[in-house]
Amino acid sequence: MKCVLIAPPFGSVYGTFKGLMRYGFLNPPLGLCYLAAAVKRSGHQALVLDCEAQGLNLTSILEIIEREKPDLIGITATSPELNNAVAIAAGLKSSLATPIVLGGVHVTIFNEQALVDHPCFDFGAVGEGEETIVELLEALPEPHRYARIQGLIYRQAGEIIQNPLRPLLQDLDDLPFPDRTALPPELYFRSVPRLGHGVTAAFMSSRGCPCRCTYCAIDHIPGWRRVRFRSAANVVDEIEYLVRELKILHISFNDDVLTLNKARIYEICREIKRRQLTFTWEGLSRADAVDRELLRTMKDAGFVRISYGIESGNPAILKSTGKNETLEQIEAAFRLTREAGIIARGSLIIGLPFENRRTVEDSFRFINRLEGIDQVVINILQPYPGTKVREMMLQGVGGSRILNDDLSELRRFGNAVVEVNDLTRNRLIWLQKIGLLRFYLRPKVLWRNFKVYHPKAFLMDGLAFMKALCSWGAN
């Protein structure tokens, strides 16, 4: 059997920052690569298409489908990507009879309603899909077997049936490494500190997150509160394959909290050193999940950049997010990161419930005086389906309101679908732009980034950044 797995284009989520995203944040669809690996391990065939990176439109996708003649088409989508996924599925359905399954976060949150709303999908796959996709492929010739596939939503005699959830995979080491063969590595690159733009591999060493942030939909992903870790040996086995076989010299960890299990990170670092692997890596973490010794150990093993969620520089707003961190912890983490010689990024959210112009100004002042921060991303709050903050805004908590329920309008830059107190939609968009300019156009920040990044990369990223800001009004 054969399947083609499609990641729809998502660049519109970044608005005018789409071009800059391609230089610094573009990752392959790692989830689909895991599915493809599981399919191949079971003796079947799989092809992954990344519409954003490969520049594919409906016409080119249709040409590939007609050439490959798959038995099943899979499309993944988050809620902001759903309209693009539906457009692809509907376009394919108008020409082909091949069954299409929808996977990803959106269908996991909305379950059978996703198929009710979008008849172009024949199936839905809820939760982790490595086993579901294989069982579905093998059941296609015998539809009576659909009822036995856990995590599957399917159509039968005009009805939509949802099967019981599939239990989570217990041992992530049992998974094959994600199949990256169909996606040229050179499509994915980013600006690496002191090295310039380099080919980058996305990486996951754990699944799940224990945090209860109001702006995250993790409560609607079954079992995702329990974090499951790959062993250090298994993690470094894949790193060694990437470095020695694929010649990839920078790896971006996409774990929700990379340093949640500090003992495992120490073990990973020791194993990297023992195998004498030379590469650079980066990841995401929390301010309360790092310390001086850990950061220095990671730096010695090639770690070059970390991203922390700041969210707000106002103590009351920060507390309201459920992040369970303090400004003092955030300040300490950035200071220790700078002392360890690691580049630090921070991210803010403006437009949260209870927010007003004064609290936004608190956030801007906080990041501008924060010792150790090299770069910042300022996001306008997106009330994603399944999040607590969406429910709060629908109820008008803290003076908040949602203006538009069109999921395609959930764009992180240059757009707002919320208002709160004296922060109108236009004011939020303006403040996002002003906040970025206030941070980056300071001489010490410009000089710091010029020293840290390769001159060519600094110039290219800087020009892309200014172009995005200057064209903001066009959207």
Grade residue 50 by pLDDT with cuts at 50, 70 and 90.
very high
Grade residue 407 by pLDDT with cuts at 50, 70 and 90.
confident
- Contact 13/152 with Cβ under 8 angstroms? no
- Contact 409/403 with Cβ under 8 angstroms? no
User: Smallest Cα–Cα separation from 282: which of 227, 349, 202?
Assistant: 202
Q: Tokens standing for 386?
A: 């399944």
Q: What pLDDT shows up at residue 49?
A: 97
Asked whether this chain's domains 2-162 and 188-474 adopt the same fold, the reply is no
The CATH code for residues 2-162 is: 3.40.50.280
Within 10 Å of residue 387's Cβ, how many Cβ atoms?
Answer: 21
Contacts of 43 (CB under 8 A, 6+ apart): none
377, β-bridge pairs: 347
Residues 417, 289: Cα–Cα separation, whole Å: 32
User: Smallest Cα–Cα separation from 32: which of 14, 11, 21, 46?
Assistant: 46
Map tokens 């093993």 to a residue.
Answer: 301
pLDDT at 471 over 80: no
Residues 169, 86: Cα–Cα separation, whole Å: 29
Grade residue 293 by pLDDT with cuts at 50, 70 and 90.
very high
The alpha-helical segments, DSSP class H, found in 43-97 are 51-54, 58-68, 82-93
User: Smallest Cα–Cα separation from 281: which of 317, 306, 311, 252?
Assistant: 252
pLDDT at 475 over 60: no
- Section 378-399 average pLDDT: 95
Q: pLDDT digits over 329-363, tens only?
A: 999 999 999 999 999 999 999 999 999 999 999 99
pTM for this structure?
Answer: 0.93
Helix axes 58-68, 82-93, angle to 10 degrees: 50
Q: pLDDT digits over 60-105, tens only?
A: 999 999 999 999 999 999 999 999 999 999 999 999 999 999 999 9
* Three-state secondary structure call for residue 233: helix
Fold of 188-474: pyruvate-formate lyase- activating enzyme (3.80.30)
Taking the domains of the chain in order of start, what are their residue ranges?
2-162, 188-474
pLDDT at 12 over 80: no
Q: What pLDDT shows up at residue 456?
A: 78
- Contact 350/380 with Cβ under 8 angstroms? yes
How far are the Cα atoms of 273, 344, 359 from residue 431, in angstroms, in the given order?
45, 23, 12
Q: What pLDDT shows up at residue 462?
A: 78
Q: Tokens standing for 452?
A: 């840290």
Contacts of 429 (CB under 8 A, 6+ apart): 380, 414, 415, 416, 472
Grade residue 219 by pLDDT with cuts at 50, 70 and 90.
confident
Contacts of 249 (CB under 8 A, 6+ apart): 195, 198, 199, 243, 278, 279, 280
Q: pLDDT digits over 116-150, tens only?
A: 999 999 999 999 999 999 999 999 999 999 999 99
pLDDT at 371 over 90: yes
| Selected residue with higher pLDDT from 469 and 142 | 142
